Structures are given as structure tokens and as C-alpha cells.
Amino acid sequence: MPLATDLRTAKRILGNAWRSRRARNRLASVQGELEHPARGSVRIVLYFADPKVNLYQLRQWYQPLVELSKTWPVVVVSRSPSSMLRLIEESPLPVVYLRKIVDFENFLAEQDIRIVLYVNQNVKNFQSMRYGRMWHVFINHGESDKAYMASNQYKAYDYAMVAGDAALERLSHALWDYDVSKRALVIGRPQADYFTGELPYTPDDRVTVLYAPTWEGDRGSMSYGSVLTHGLAIARSLLADSRFRLIYRPHPRSGVTNPEYRQANEQIIGMIAAANARDSRAQHVFDENPAIGWQLGSTDVAITDISAMVYDRLATGKPLIVTRPSSPEAQVETDGYLGSAEWLDADAAPDVIAQVERVRGDAEALERLQHWVKYHFGDTTPGAATGRFHGAVQHLMGEWEQHAAIHLADKRVGQFDVLDGDEDDEDEAPGAD
């Protein structure tokens, strides 16, 4: 058994090295055509060290950052060749590939960077966070009640931008000696101001249900994925009833650690194709579009696992069902919204239609929903969160000016450590959330 494990590990390492080298070679052939930001033009960096499998964490910030860049120029810094290749194709923001930390240091030297934003907890974030004279700000890639959302890693950043009162309470309870009032800036969910997009179906009298499960997780405490326990039954029920349309949007990492989970995901995709072949008017959708928008804002009911998707949907104020994890090890925080959520147990999944109909018409359920929308996001009037986001950035810019004046005469201290590793890591990043 140990030998087999060693062989699998060696195979994975070699595979990662081969993929990384191939991506670097492809990148080298196009990098000369890319426009580099003018010296001194950049004020805000979004730092992204992950490979392309985790780009979903960044994509949801595209539109809010494009709007912000009209006031404060924003550049995405990629440390991964595979991510950079994809970003060249899709990013609406300027992108710079800085493979080595010395490349990043040179970039900082030629620009006037005041804020560095982070959407996840990649260990390479710490290679960037060594640099002072700028604010390091955790903006995360969602709002949820996962244990990840109250990690002590928040203390590593100068500030964190959070969604609302629920996040403030979560952090104040979980973190010792953390000044929530100063270091946590409430902005709501600015992404929700951009939940739009062209529908891949023609609206009719069918009830459209979004089923958006997360991946299976890489440890028991994070086993929130429902594809294997709930998903097949949900899909069978909805696809068999002509009153409903299913939009299936699985997490892009579905099945990376569990072959059975991957097979269940593939089976649901096949069931959707077969249902559309039987009745083209149904227009069921397997959604693998990188962009998230219409899926949350246009569907009648959403079914999600415990993940950021719960709170993305919650920000719309529309009916929502949450699958209850079957793993006894899964950590479920019930002090916030999840304590009052409309839960779907695995053994009730075959009767999902009854639950869908109930949450659409139950006045008490809808009233509870609105209470939690306000608690988690505050004012969800279109544009309100974007205004708070811009206000938070303006506040940090003012703080930067104040501290820059205080430390104007300070001696500059070199912060580059040549011993730090600069190697690419095109691994599947199993710890991603």
C-alpha cells in the first residue's frame, strides 16, 4: 500500500511538472504581445497564485473590479502559467504574469501599489504579504457559514472586506483579540449587482430550478457536496416532471478526489441530455459557463449545498433550499441563516418537488428568507453594495495617504528573501474552498 501511494504521488508530481512546463512554453510564445502597464499607473492589485482550476474564485470579482478600475486602476497579478493563459482569453482587467517572487518585487518597484486584494488563502499569498507600505486586504470569493469563513488566517491581512452583520458576528466569536470594528469592512455582496446575462433557454410557464452543488471536499469536515447523496434523486424527479426545468451547475472541482462523485456528476449530465432529446421544449441546462449571474437572478428556486452559492443566492432574496450534508463529520454552523434554512435531507431528495413548491408559496418561509437577507447583506437595493465597496476602497486609500505621510522619512528596508521557492505549482490545489 505505501509503495502504491508513493507511485501515485510520483506520478502526480511528474504530471504537474509536465503541465507546468507546457503552459510556460505556450505562455512564452504569446507573452511578448501583451501590453505591460505603464510605470506608476497601477494602484490596486488582485493577487492570484492559484492554477486555472480555481479561477472561479476570481471570476465573480471581474465586474465589480472593472467598475472600480474607472476610479482606481486595477491589475490582476497571476503567478500560475495555466491561469495566465486562461486570463489572457477572458479577463476584462489587465493581467500581468509574475512567475517568480523577484518578478513581483520588480513590479512593485515600478508601480504605485497601495492595495493588494486576495480572494483565497493560497500559501503563496505570504510571498506577497511580506511587503509593507501597502494594505493587504482579504476580499474572499464568497460569503458562507463554512469554517473557512472564520479562519484565524484573517489576522494575517491588514483588513478584510465582509458581507454584513453575520460576518462581523462570526469573526468576533471565532477570533481572539481581533479588532473587528477596525479591520473588517462591511461591503455587502457587490457581485450581486451584476447577476445578469443571456438566458440559455426561453422562459415559459415551467418552474426553473437551479441545482448548484459544491465539490466533495478533501476532508470530512468539509464534505458538503451532495451530488452523490442527493443529486441523482433531485435530477430524476425534476427531469421527469414537465412542469419543471433543471439548471444543473456543478462545482468545477466535482470528482477530483472521489471517482464515485465524479461518476454521479457525469450521470446527471447524461440524464439532462437524454431528457432534452425526449422533449426539446424542456430546455434543461447543464451549465459550465465560467460566469455566474443569470443562474442566481433568473431561476425560480435554487438548491445548493453549504457553500458560497447559498449566500450568492441569498443576496437575490429569492427562494432557496439547502442540502443537509450526509457526512457526520461535516461542520454545520447553525447560529446564522443555516439555523433557519429550508433543508433537504438525502432521504427526502426523491420528494424534492414538494419542497420546491412549498418554499415558493409559504409566506412564513419567504418572511424568514428576507430577515436573513438583511442580516447577511444589509441593503440589497441594486447598486448599494457597489457603493459600499467603493467607499471601503476610498477609506483604505485615505488610510494609506495618512500612513505614507507618517512614514515619509523612514528608512526603506529590503524585504526580498532569495531563499524563498519560486517554482510553479500546477497542482489541483485540493485545499481550495
Q: Model's pTM, two decimal places?
A: 0.77
pLDDT tens-digit series, residues 383-405: 999 999 999 999 999 999 999 99
Mean pLDDT of 196-200: 91
The reported pLDDT for the residue numbered 277 is: 98
More confident residue, 196 or 257: 257
User: Quick one: pLDDT band at residue 431, thresholds 50, 70, 90?
Assistant: very low
User: In terms of C-beta density within 10 A (0-12 exposed, 13-18 middle, 19 or more buried), how is residue 230 classed?
Assistant: buried
Mean pLDDT of 287-295: 90
Write down how long the chain is.
433
Report how far residue 49's alpha carbon sits from residue 423's, in angstroms, rounded to the nearest whole number. 12
Residue 379 in grid coordinates: 441593503
Under 8 Å between Cβ of 233 and 355: no
Average pLDDT over residues 253-259: 93
* Predicted pLDDT at 255: 93
Q: How far apart are the first and last CA of the chain?
A: 29
Q: CA separation (Å) from 256 to 142, 218, 252, 259, 425? A: 21, 9, 9, 7, 17
- 96 pLDDT exceeds 50? yes
Amino acid identity, residue 5? T
> Is pLDDT above 70 for 247?
yes
Nearby residues of 104 by Cβ (< 8 Å), 6 or more positions away:
77, 79, 98, 127, 128
Which pLDDT band, with edges at 50, 70 and 90, does 335 fall under? confident
pLDDT at 8: 57
Calculate what percentage of the chain has a pLDDT beyond 70. Answer: 87
pLDDT at 142: 82
For residue 311, the Cα-to-chain-centroid distance in whole angstroms is 11
Three-class secondary structure of residue 151 per DSSP: coil
For residue 111, give the amino acid letter: Q
What's the pLDDT band for 248 if we cut at 50, 70, 90? very high
Least confident of 11-20, 132-141, 222-231: 11-20
Beta bridge pairs of residue 76? 46, 95
Would you place residue 419 in the very low, low, confident or very high pLDDT band (cuts 50, 70, 90)? very low
Q: What is the pLDDT of residues 34-78, one digit of tens each?
A: 788 999 999 999 999 999 989 989 999 999 999 999 999 999 999
Give the pLDDT band (50/70/90) at residue 426. low
Residue 249 in this model has a pLDDT that exceeds 90: yes
* Mean pLDDT, the chain, integer: 89
Say what the pLDDT of residue 403 is. 96
pLDDT band at 430 (very low <50, low <70, confident <90, very high): very low
Rounded CA separation 331/325 (Å): 9
Q: For residues 424 and 402, which has the higher predicted lDDT (pLDDT)?
A: 402
The tally of CA atoms less than 13 A away on the side-chain side of residue 323 is: 35
Is 311 in contact with 189 (CB distance < 8 Å)? yes
- Please compute the mean of the pLDDT values over residues 250-277 and round it to a whole number: 96
What pLDDT score does 410 carry? 86
Q: What is the pLDDT of residues 118-165, one digit of tens each?
A: 999 999 999 999 999 999 999 998 887 667 788 899 999 999 999 999
Q: In the predicted model, is pLDDT for residue 28 greater than 70? A: no
Confidence band, pLDDT 50/70/90 cuts, at residue 331:
confident
Backbone torsions φ then ψ of 285, nearest 5 degrees = -130, 125
Among 237, 238, 250, 231, which residue's Cα sits nearest to residue 206? 238
Q: What per-residue confidence (pLDDT) applies to 418?
A: 46
pLDDT at 429: 47
